[in-house]
Amino acid sequence: MLEYYKRGCAILDVLGYTDHSPAHTRLVAEKAADILKAFGYDEHVIELAKIAGFMHDIGNAVNRHHHAEYGALLANEILKETDLELSDRVRIVSAIANHDESDGVVADPIAAALIIADKTDVRRSRVNEKDPIHFDIHDRVNYAVTTTRLKCSQEEKRITLYLTIDEEICTLYEYFDIFLTRMTMCSHAARFLDAQFSLKVNGQKVL
């Protein structure tokens, strides 16, 4: 499977995208697990979310456009070789196929956790090109984020993303220009977990 990520990263490097390597997918897998743990889901569901999180971006090896759908097809072929039950494989594949904000649909807790974990991975270290002269808006937005934290509270029924943004690098307008659809998808996903999604930037609630 790592060969798919190698090829996907090579393609995205040419396109100038931020990091979508196994470093990103491992983080997404861990965050998806943490989200479901915080809301009391059982270990089996958590394990399926971790698998979906780690595999969710392999479709970039085929093409960035429709990478979620390509990734689901590739994941299905890989998971056929395991001892996973068909019902579990279908849940993983469905979550992967629906994680992109362009046309994804939240249908179960695994998909919800994957979406929130993926869309909230905003951080300076995702920027592959470190020379600011060559930054596009995606680079600038990610590079401007100096700290990030995701807090999940079952008691408050709330998932909150805390960001510290250097507004000399990126304005809040630029952040929302790139991330509004992703944050909206996180809100839909949080409701599936019987929670609300909030965003706080530089100490101020903005969503």
Q: Is the pTM of this model over 0.85?
A: yes
pLDDT in tens, the chain (207 residues): 889 999 999 999 888 889 899 999 999 999 999 999 999 999 999 999 999 999 999 999 999 999 999 999 999 999 999 999 999 999 999 999 999 999 999 999 999 999 999 999 999 999 987 678 888 888 999 999 999 999 999 999 999 999 999 999 999 899 998 899 999 999 999 999 999 999 999 999 998
Q: Give residue 138's pLDDT.
A: 87
Q: What is the DSSP string of 151-176?
A: EEETTTTEEEEEEEE-TTT--HHHHH
Length of the chain: 207
Q: Give residue 143's pLDDT.
A: 94
Rounded Cα–Cα distance for residues 167 and 160 (Å): 20
Q: Give residue 108's pLDDT.
A: 96
Structural domains counted in the chain: 1
**Domain range holding 166?**
2-205
9 Cβ neighbours under 8 A, 6+ residues apart: 20, 21, 60
Rounded Cα–Cα distance for residues 118 and 113 (Å): 8
Question: What CATH number has the domain bearing residue 159?
Answer: 1.10.3210.10
Q: Give residue 63's pLDDT.
A: 96
Torsion of CA 92, 97, 102, 106, to 10 degrees: -40
